[in-house]
Amino acid sequence: MKTNMTMAFITSTFALLSCAAPGGAGIKRYTSDMCVVTDNKLGSMGDPVTKVYGNQEVKFCCKPCVAKYEKNPEKYAKDLAAAKP
C-alpha cells in the first residue's frame, strides 16, 4: 500500500513539473527576444535564463535579472504584457 502511494505521489509530482517546464502544456511562451528587466537582447550576456511563473514563461539575459524580477514582479508586469505578439 505504501509503495502504491509513493508511486502515485511521484507520478503526480512529475506531471506537475512537466506542465511547469518552459514551453510545456498550458504555458504562455515568452515571445520577445529582449530581457524583461534590462531590455538587453537575450543572449547578449551569455545563455538566457528561462523561468516559469504561474503559467507564464519569462526569459532573462542573466541570473541577476531573475533576482531583480522576483523582488518586484509587478514592476515588470506591464513590459511582460507588452512583449506578447
Q: State the pLDDT at residue 63.
A: 96
Q: Does residue 27 sit in helix, strand or coil?
A: coil
Which comes out higher in pLDDT, residue 4 or 67?
67
**pTM for the predicted model, two decimal places:** 0.67
Crossing angle of helices 63-71 and 73-82, rounded to 10°: 110
User: Residue 10: which pLDDT band, with cuts at 50, 70 and 90?
Assistant: very low
Can you tell me the mean pLDDT for 64-70? 97
| Rg, the chain, Cα only | 16
Q: State the pLDDT at residue 82.
A: 74
Can you tell me the mean pLDDT for 25-41? 92
Can you tell me the mean pLDDT for 47-69? 96
Range with lowest mean pLDDT among 11-15, 23-27, 41-45, 81-85: 11-15
